[in-house]
Amino acid sequence: MVDYIGVAEIQRLVHSQGVARFIERLAGEIEADYARWAEFEKSVRVASHSERGVIELMPTSDGRFYSFKYVNGHPKNTAAGLLTVTAFGVLADVKTGYPLLLSELTVTTALRTAAISALAARYLARPGSRAMALIGNGAQSEFQAIGFHKMLGIRELRLFDVDGQASLKLERNLRALPELADLTIVRCTGTVQAVRGADIVTTVTADKRNAVILEPSMIEAGMHLNAVGGDCPGKTELHAAILQRSDARVIVEYEPQSRVEGEIQQLDADFAVTEFADIVRGARPGRVTPQDVTIFDSVGFALEDYSALRFLYTLLGEQRGARTQIDLVPRLDDPKNLFGGTLGNRRTSLRRVA
């Protein structure tokens, strides 16, 4: 029997911790895994592109566990009442090859994206950063706001989206959370107003195109840019000149993947970047001076999903009471008799535990 986490179960697990605490704990797991970067198999994700979007597989292993995530990105889905991004994942035992956990990752991906964003900002943003502009107020935005409030102490959030209803939705959802009572929320009329004087600027837009969300004139010395929305070939958010500033420091998760899918796809292959793992391990500096412009060119990496799946598996072990399991793999008296133990036997011994 294989442990299973569906939408209802992830709701229960997250609410048992609290959303902010869950993101913070998950960030700790991700940080610990980045600290042992050398133990992981690393590869660019396997992508299948279409006119409407992309479907990707993201695998990795540390030799003990293997994980993969299936994830899509279809920006036009919302017009049909569908999510832009959906995902599920598997955690398996390397020793036997048996799957241990099959889990939804649609909600969990939003949680882990917020966790890695806030974790990177802890290393890269100026100490005492309190004001953040959030450009793009769709499905990821609440998670980003909660994570940065909890982990960075953000107290002023400036919102802008080309769809004003998205900003209203975000503000309504955030104001309903008692733990965000000290958060000042300002809805802005444009990107320029939102980013002016901000310590941190998060861009998390959905359109699959080379957009220019941030212009060079908008960037002030000392800012930290959390560029989340660019995550596939032909999709960017920052003007290339921002990356090329003399005071800019560009940090990526896994350089070979970011060269294909990140903001740096706009630049020559010899453009210098720093991998986040080197900063976590102390091998390279992040921010050097208060005037540096730090840019976290985040596209998401399989290690972060590994961390999330392993964390969920751990939480299941901590929870008292029943856990949901599914008969994904046959249980046989004779492992050499697959036919006889399944199709040749009308009586089944498989069961669903809830």
pLDDT tens digits, residue range 281-297? 999 999 999 999 999 99
Q: What number of other Cβ atoms are within 10 A of residue 330's Cβ?
A: 12
231 is catalytic: yes
State residue 60's pLDDT score.
98
When comparing pLDDT for 6 and 350, which is higher? 6
Catalytic-labelled residue, pool 3, 33, 199, 231:
231
Query: What homologous superfamily does CATH list for 2-107+304-341?
Result: ornithine cyclodeaminase, domain 1 (3.30.1780.10)
State residue 203's pLDDT score.
96
**What confidence tens digit (pLDDT) does each residue in 30-63 have?**
999 999 999 999 999 999 989 888 899 999 999 9
State residue 99's pLDDT score.
98
Residue 353 has pLDDT above 60, yes or no: no
What topology is assigned to 125-300 in CATH?
A: Rossmann fold (3.40.50)
Fold match flag (2-107+304-341 vs 125-300): no
State residue 75's pLDDT score.
84
Q: Beta strands of the chain (E only): which ranges?
A: 2-5, 46-49, 54-61, 65-73, 87-93, 99-104, 131-135, 156-160, 184-187, 200-203, 210-214, 224-227, 236-238, 248-252, 274-275, 293-297, 325-326
pLDDT band at 238 (very low <50, low <70, confident <90, very high): very high
Average pLDDT of every residue of the chain = 94
CA distances from 26 to 14, 173, 214 (A): 11, 22, 29
Residue 352 has pLDDT above 50, yes or no: no
State residue 11's pLDDT score.
96
CA distance 235 to 231: 7
pTM: 0.94
- The domain limits of the chain are 2-107+304-341, 125-300
